[in-house]
Chain A
Amino acid sequence: MNITISDSYEDKNSIIHRLDPRTKIICLILFIFVVALTPPLRFLEFCAYAVLLISLTLISKLSLLKTTKKALAIIPFVLLVAIFLPFLKEGNVIYSFNVYSLKVSVTDAGLIALWNSFIKSLLSITSMIILTSTTSFPEIMHGLQKLRAPKIIVMLISFMYRYIFVLVNEVQALQISWHSRYFGKKFLRQISITGTILGSLFIRTYEKSERIFLAMSSRGYEGEIKTIEQLRPGVPDAIFSSCFIIFISLVKVLNFI
């Protein structure tokens, strides 16, 4: 039984796909910083960033609709965090109403704060989606490693990503075998079975990790994972990153005039 979980990488052939992952990671971080540091009321600037992302999506030959859908998936999370902001922030009251004896009012500063967190997270997430759809996971890991991200963290993420599929399949197998012998009722007893399942899952993972370690040391592992240089930043990378930086600076400069 093999249930595949989709990851967001889409194997297409575009300029963006062929860029060095380092270029893309650096541009992404830069973009997120710039977006995060933009004052909330610069609507035109946000529009410019949105246009940038849309054109990147089109250049990458990704579907606009699909990308938007993926990006909108984060809205519930943003709302969860930011929904109370309009009511809690102090400022000029725009609208107020009574809930029983409690007076609730919406302030302008609060609304701005909501807009602020919404647009910034939306733009950042969209840019990340473009990165992960155009760069395969091993490539991102290579890029991070070459950018001197802490080795242990890169290793952790790689292993997690490699084995999450195996683990999920294992959970599903356990679950199916449980459900095929469970005929309803006795809810409380089922809770204790969940515990047993988690326990056996833990032991299975632990044993698996031991076997993986054996397999690694059989092939000469001595505490450090080495890979060979496969990345060669070229002219397209230089062009892309300079265009990217010029665009962002242009937006910034135009806004001041």
Chain B
Amino acid sequence: MQNLSFKYPDGKNALENISLEVYQRESVAIIGPNGAGKSTLLLHLNGSLGIPENGKPKIKIAEINLTRKNLKEIRKNVGVVFQNPDDQLFMPSVFDDVAFGPINLGYPDSIVREKVAKALEEVGLAQFERRASYHLSYGEKKLISIATIISMDPKLVVLDEPTSGLDPRGKRRIMQILKKMVVTKIIATHDLEVAYELCNRAILINNGVIVAIGDAEDIIENEQLMLENGLETPLSIVLSRKVTW
């Protein structure tokens, strides 16, 4: 992916004139309080909430313009992991769920099997193929959700609150997996520790408007800015800065 320029006015004013660029292999955090428009922004990245008409707004991913004609190509390149794993996992078994994307991409059976095995291996749940999605724990569901996207080999992975509702161990596990993935990542979260550790850049949005774009550490360490936008610099970061100084 080279340039993602992104600009649109949403009907409900959930987002206003947002323009941003994300570079290849970059990890970008979209941070903001509840209802800031993070999820809305993410869903626009693969045309889930309407497709631009007449080239306005302009959304370009991996040199492909998001249009009705290119929708399939875009969705091949953009993998979205939804916040609620029960939305993400809709097939009766884990295997079917992870295989859903690759099958729709038209891979032959043997490759589908390979991709499923590899994706499950990557999230550390290799033996889960035959399990039923509804019998998994919440943490396992979150991991399988990520596997359903890994199996599609997208160029851009978009994650909506990947660590919400998880215990520290589950959170750590997800963060390790995301760190290992060498793709472009856009992560929406209000867990700033996650953003701080995983992302090099951060985009702060509030009320549908971009408040700040910049180096993730700079933005998150700016306690004043965080408080003004309904967030809070994590105590761990505040303390560690005091200690090193």
Contact = CB atoms under 8 A, between A and B. Distances in A.
A and B interact: yes
Interface of A: 2, 4, 136-138, 141, 158-159, 161-163, 165-166, 208, 211-212, 214-222, 225-230
A214 B109 CA distance: 25
A162 B90 contact: yes
Interface residues of B, number: 39
A216 B91 CA distance: 10
B112 A228 contact: yes
B121 interface: no
A208 B92 contact: no
Given A158-B92, A162-B92, A217 B82 contact: no
B134 A218 contact: no
Contacts of A220: 72, 75-76, 100-101, 104-105, 152
Contacts of B96: 138, 227
Contacts of B130: 136, 138
Interface in B91-122: 91-93, 95-96, 99-101, 103-105, 109, 112-113
B82 A227 contact: no
B99 A136 contact: no
B135 interface: yes
B43 interface: yes
Nearest to B107: A228
A61 B178 CA distance: 43
B152 A219 contact: yes
A203 to B, nearest CB: 16
Contacts of B95: 230
25 contacts: A2-B137, A4-B135, A136-B130, A136-B132, A137-B132, A138-B91, A138-B132, A161-B92, A162-B92, A163-B86, A208-B86, A212-B87, A212-B90, A215-B88, A216-B100, A218-B79, A219-B79, A219-B100, A220-B72, A220-B75, A220-B101, A220-B104, A228-B103, A229-B109, A230-B95
